[in-house]
Structure 1
Amino acid sequence: MNALDLWDIHIGKRHPFNDRAPRIDNGTGRPTPDRYFDPAFAAQEWDKVFARSWLLAGPASDIPEPGDFMKFDIGPESFIIVRDNDGSVRAHYNVCPHRGSQLVTTDLGSLDRFTCPFHSWKFALDGKCESVTDAETFRPEVLCHGTDLSSVRCEVAAGLVFVAMDPDIQPLADFLAPILPQLELYEIDQMYVVQHRRSDWGSNWKGGVDAFAEIYHLHAVHPQTQCLMDDRTQIDLWPGGLSRQFVPFAQPSQRFADQDSVNPGIQMMLRDAGLDPASYQGTARETRAAVQQAKRRRSDELGLRYERFSDSQLSDSVVYSVFPNVQIGCHPEAVFLHRFIPHPTDPNQFTYDTCILYRHVDAPGYSAPAWMGLGAEVDLSGRTRPEVVHTALGEPPCLGEVLDQDSDLLPVVQKGARSRGFRGPLWSEQEGRLRHFHAELDRLMGA
């Protein structure tokens, strides 16, 4: 089956999930490269883009009970996202109104209230000040300036928590409207984090977005992937910088010479679907369809309700770009969250934050896709939330072969972007998601 052929065998026609979005023409312009390294551009970008956008803080599953909180750091800011006693989710700047001390320093935790470590002022989960230490020593006119935490907009969609510093921003559901029903199909709200890694890379954050928003580079940077995944596939664009791309697995790239042999990579995907590679009679180009059909049989046996998915959703990764700095790689059993966090002061660095969310099903053969690289030591039960593993700039990130290759290459691209000989990117149609992202970036920068 050709990667571009997204018809569904089980219904004999094109599945509505696979329908192409209306065409958006972002032109053929060539932006100047200063967006990748200029401190002045980065400063404006923070005020005009990040301060006016919905930002993914994390999965709602990280704060299941009242008092559970997660810390979200991005650029120069830090936020506390907390489950309130009434079950709602709230977000506050992670700063005490008294002298500016941060209130929490851990990534995750659970508290019945927030206590400032500097002078022990106390705040309820909703941000209201409960206690000012030695309040009688303050003139009333001083405390009248405000003693509550500064809160920000916070909304939940598809099991994911977003915050926004702009109080007048459009509702999150309106922003995500073109893709929200698609994301909800994956039931991310029933998944939980089984791996969370964070590493500092020597590149602008947009270099990370660019690299993860196209698969045009796979044949050059990740040639080992060509035997089991295609790199010519459907791209869809929506207003607001939203986009998606199908990444077909379990079949060789059209660039790959051998389209027949069932190589070890494809054998791995057959086993993932419950098929025995030793008894499989088809060719490599037929494996993707076989995987899809096998997963439908598994769904019928285990009651997984895969009838809500198209065939391509069962075999492929469907990758979404959520402007400005998020990629969500969706698979029925698990989801990848990728965030590209700008450095507070240096536009030549960013932090790559990635986690895998998984939904446990206690059944033989059911697991996260093997290509996600979750080792036997990873607890898939959901009983424990893994700690965040953070590697600093210059340390081996140990993210897996493919991601380590990206982390090695992006500093090389960043150095080239600063050359007088580079006049800006030239994007192909395979890089349509990049052009779409930068068009939205330029729209906000010019607002």
Structure 2
Amino acid sequence: MKLDTELWDIHVGTPHPFNNRAPRIDNGADRPGPERYHTADFAREEWDKVFAKSWLIACPVADVPEPGDLVRFDIGDESFIVVRGDDGVIRAHYNVCPHRGSRLVLADFSTLSNFTCPFHSWKFDLEGHNIAVTDENTFKPEVLCHDRDLTSVRCETAAGLVFISMDPDVMPLDDYLGPLKQQLELYRIDSMYVVQHRQSEWGANWKGGVDAFAETYHLHAVHPQTQCLMDDRTQIDLYPNGMSRQFVPFAQPSRRYQDQETVNDGIKMMLSDAGIDPDDFDGSAQETRRAVQLAKRKRSDELDLGYDRFSDTQLSDSTVYSVFPNAQIGCHPEAVFLHRFLPNADDPNRFTYDTLILYKHVEAPGYSAPAWMGLGTTDLSGKTRPEIVRTGIGEPPGLGEVLDQDSELLPIVQAGARSRGFRGPLWSEQEARLRHFHKEIDRYMAGEK
């Protein structure tokens, strides 16, 4: 049977090197078993073989701008301190006191000159060295001869993000990211700052979250309201080490949407974002995407935004990256969505959905983050780092209509994945990123990575 690629693939725009297709990777047609989505045995092995061996996105560089600034990054059983030292170097340590194992840092963010254990007041400098032991003379010297510094982990930065790895022998970060590093650097995330940060508990396996965010195949069924302004024909590129990207065309209707001509309210919103008065636009919905691209180029020329580094596609569409194992980054010239899917330490049928929006303020009329991001009255100045807004399992996460729909659906998918009647996923070419992701998981589980 010949694949009907016209149903799922689209020419992304004017030819540009950024849009070049990646060399084809054939991940076969195997059907993996469903146990990966719900069994405790798989989750335990996955933690040791995947998460403990990979690079993980811990935080944006913007969260640790000055010496002493720190972020607490929790994932699974572990907690880490990411801190910028007095020498300007960003380091990461296990958030564990070597004396009795107490957590050292309890706040999400802080600025400290040193770490003091809340249990017995042992002190450590920002590099992790022990600098004070309370009542040191009550310890045998032979006891204190043991290593009493913090346990540090690999920590490197790329494209404005801080990565950590629990594996001291992990491959270099540049090799791990491959082409993604250079592509992400175009968005200058290092000059952005967090304007929204939310965490919510979802009743599904973390891989179910990754799966849902790595394809547009479900949009017509779960998010029909998006069909008037997003096209689900996309370009998918697969890269080594489980990485991938997908272009999602905005400001034009899906080919499933009946009315291909009317400039509807959703597209009008995107025209306004680009500085076009919808009431003055006399083209059809088939012409609005190109109009957005041209308007953003004009704005860039007027404000010296440097958009000549972007392809047309990058100006109008969402360029979505999968960063193995558990992150998705939705990139736009004005703002970036960072999604992390954090496994639950005790229950493979739950995960924490962690989402940040990063933005760089430009003082100019009409310039802002895309309206569809739902920032509304959010402070976009960057003067204050917003607190993390948390919601528990079963609570409405308040993430906006589309994401709230995902949070409602994924527990239903998870329940089905646990059924004896489910024999494992069957992925289409629209879901090529999912197969690519799971193939990489299988390589780690088999000890090949």
CA offset digits 1:58-107 (Å, max 9, x no partner): 10100100000000000000000000000000000000000000001111
Map 1:223-262 to 2 at 5 A.
223-262=224-263
TM-score, normalization by structure 2: 0.97
Alignment of 1:342-361 (within 5 A): 342-361=343-362
Partner of 2:264: 263
* TM superposition score normalised by structure 1: 0.98
Cα drift, residue 144 of structure 1: 1.3
Determine helix, strand or coil for the equivalent of 1:278. Answer: helix
Check whether the contact 2:33–2:424 (CA below 8 A) recurs between aligned residues. yes
Q: Which residue of 1 aligns with 2:12?
A: 6
Figure out how many residues of one structure are paired with residues of the other and give that number.
440
State the identity %: 72
Which residue of structure 1 lines up, in the alignment, with residue 398 of structure 2? Answer: 398
Q: Is the 8 A contact 1:95 1:149 kept in 2?
A: yes
Q: 1:247-301 deviations in whole A, cap 9, x for unaligned? A: 1100000000100000000000000000011110100011000000000000000
Q: CA deviation at 1:181?
A: 0.7
Q: Are 1:97 and 1:149, in contact at CA under 8 Å, matched by a contact in 2? A: yes
User: 2:311 matched to which residue of 1?
Assistant: 310
Q: Which residue of the partner structure matches residue 98 of structure 2?
A: 97
Shift of residue 179, structure 1, vs aligned partner: 1.1
1:179 alignment partner, SS class = helix
Contact 1:3 1:248 in 2 (8 A): no
Letter in 2 for 1:7: G
Backbone CA RMSD of aligned residues: 0.8
Kindly indicate whether the alpha-carbon contact (under 8 Å) linking 1:3 and 1:230 is maintained by their aligned counterparts in 2.
no
| Aligned-pair CA distance for 1:177 | 2.1
Give the structure 2 partner of residue 11 of structure 1. Answer: none
Q: Does 1:339 align with 2:353?
A: no
Tell me how far 1:4 sits from its aligned partner.
Answer: 1.6
Structure 2 unaligned runs (5+)? 1-7
Kindly state the Cα deviation for residue 3 of structure 1 after the two structures are TM-superposed: 7.5
| Contact 2:50/2:444 (<8 A) preserved | yes
Distance (whole Å) between structure 2 residues aligned to residue 305 and residue 418 of structure 1: 50
- Partner residue in 1 for 2:441: 441
Structure-1 separation of matches of 2:340 and 2:384: 22
What is the rounded CA distance, in whole Å, between the counterparts of 1:126 and 1:135 in structure 2?
21
In structure 2, C-alpha distance between the alignment counterparts of 1:216 and 1:31, rounded to whole Å: 20
Deviation at 1:35, TM superposition (A): 0.2
The offset of 1:143, in angstroms, is: 1.1
Aligned position for 1:201:
202
* 1:160-206 deviation line (CA, Å, top 9, x unaligned): 00100000011111111211110000000000000000000000000
Q: Which runs of 5+ in 1 are unaligned?
A: 9-13
Write the deviation string for residues 10-56 of structure 1: whole angstroms up to 9, x where unpaired: xxxx1000000000000000000000000000000000000000000
* Separation in structure 2 between the aligned mates of residue 179 and residue 86 of structure 1, nearest angstrom: 29
1:300-331 residue CA offsets vs partner (Å, 9 max, x unmatched): 00000100000000000100000000000000
What is the alpha-carbon distance in structure 2 between the residues aligned to residue 135 and residue 172 of structure 1?
A: 40
